Amino acid sequence: MPGKFYEAPIDDYLPQNGNRGYRVSRYELDLTYKVASNRLAGHAEITAVTTAVQPRFALDLSQALTVSKVFVNGAKVAKYTHQHGKLVITPQHRIPAGGVLSLVVQYAGTPRPVRGPWGEVGWEELTEGALVASQPNGAASWFPCDDHPSSKASYRISITTDSPYYALANGTLLRKQVKASQTTWVYEQAEPMATYLATIQVGPYQKHRIAAPPHSVPMHAVAPARLRANFEHDFARQARMMEVFTERFGPYPFEGYTVVVTDDELEIPIEAQGISIFGANHCDGRRGAERLVAHELAHQWFGNSLTIRQWRDIWLHEGFACYAEWIWSEEAGGPTADQLARAARHNLSRQPQDLAVGDPGPQHMFDDRVYKRGALTLHALRLELGDLGFYDLLREWTIRYRHGSVSTEEFTDLAGHYSRIPLRPLWDSWLIEKPLPQLPPSAA
């Protein structure tokens, strides 16, 4: 179509997301948010390197936000358009491949979630405050970006909001400045982060340290005061969980870990880099969500440090986090991973077997069968390799690809080094073929 900006899809699962011609290395976001009116104003500075000579460049940005100014390498642009979730920028001069692409975008509006096949994702207004839950394509609901998991960058996020509220973003709090009725919070996320894992959390929260042994990973809670007692009970075993996962999966990949509990109920918890977000319903005083506490913590290794390049490989995130639930149960004196695996396989055998876990398709990438059968794939691998080889593999996997992008092929190639026999039949039966295979006999 003449004049239409078109690029081949980065990912067939989200053909509208991601952009070619550059690689982002850093985002610097200065945001002002008014809670009462759900009004967001932003100044985004994006530092990138061009990978090809292009007449124009695109960023993902929701139509709920209105762009007022755009600069490229310090100069006001000759032209930009903002349609169909794409901010398309035409620089005054061609930039050579390998050249610096510095973009500044000023924008404002009433942010709202992005609608898609998986429901609404992105910036969400709460009863009192806001949260961001962007998986898989909601980052563009609050800042201009190259919104694809393979695009990882460092971030500085500054959020100015009304002083009664606590504001949290990814990384380390560099400074907090109170000025009249507003407070500015500035965070630095040094480790590379995918756009969908960037987050802002604003609410009537208090922050407190979670008790943990000396020299362990610093852990904090950001939650309403009314939920403090329930939190202390429900998350009491998280420090032990961190010890177990560090032993099994290798060193924790970030400086600290923060759990947010919103004052509202949430259907499911949400992972972000260095942060997990739970609803008030997950903090019931009965430790009823401990399985989910383990799942979200495990995502810090599998999903946040090691991030898939393509959404079709989502089992590398969700299968591993689900298997971590079973590992924790085993360590905490509950049913063993083998018992849970065999129960899960029995339940799956009664469901439709029309899904290939290694490429489930966009409509099914968050299907519970991907989670459970992904975990079963790992249990089958554990039974084949034995505990020693299996956990050695997981530790090498997380250390070798720390803060990087990964694929199924890279994991299966690495696993091959730990096996005396070819693993191709295992991968074919569990990841590629649709019929549900039998689990190998228990090692016990």
Which residues are registered as beta bridge partners of 186?
A: 158, 175
Q: Phi first, then psi: give them for residue 324, nearest 5 degrees.
A: -60, -35
CA angle in degrees (0–180, nearest 5) for 74-187-63: 60
Consult the annotation and say whether 295 binds a ligand: yes
CA 444 to the chain's CA centroid: 36
In the block, which residue shows the tokens 């609803």?
279
Tell whether 299 is in a known binding site: yes
Angle of helix 290-298 relative to helix 315-331, nearest 10 degrees, comes to 130
Q: What are the two backbone dihedrals, phi and then psi, of residue 259, each rounded to the nearest 5 degrees?
A: -105, 125
Q: Are strands 219-223 and 257-261 parallel, antiparallel or unpaired?
A: parallel
User: How far apart are the C-alpha atoms of 227 and 212, rounded to whole Å?
Assistant: 20
Q: What pairing do the DSSP bridges indicate for beta strands 79-83 and 119-126?
A: unpaired
Please tell me what DSSP assigns to residue 225: G
Q: What is the DSSP string of 282-337?
A: G--SS-TTHHHHHHHHHTTTBTTTBEESSGGGTHHHHHHHHHHHHHHHHHTTSS-H
Would you state the structure tokens that stand for residue 76, as one six-digit string? 């006001």
Cβ contact 133:277 at 8 Å: yes
Whether 252 is catalytic is: no
Beta strands in 170-218 (DSSP E): 172-179, 182-194, 200-203, 206-209
Extended beta strands in 369-437, E state? 405-406
- Token pair recorded at residue 207: 């922050």
DSSP 8-45: --S-TTSTTS--SSEEEEEEEEEEEEETTTTEEEEEEE
Which residue in 296, 325, 331, 384 is the catalytic one? 296
Of these residues, 165, 371, 384, 410, which one is catalytic? 371
- Pick the closest to residue 148 from 372, 307, 346 (CA basis): 307
Instruction: Please tell me what DSSP assigns to residue 145.
Output: B
| Three-state secondary-structure class, residue 345 | helix
Q: Are strands 200-203 and 219-223 parallel, antiparallel or unpaired?
A: unpaired
Residue 33 appears among annotated catalytic residues = no
- Which residue numbers belong to the known binding site? 295, 299, 318
Q: Which residues are annotated as a binding site for Zn(2+)?
A: 295, 299, 318
Which residues does the annotation mark as catalytic? 296, 371
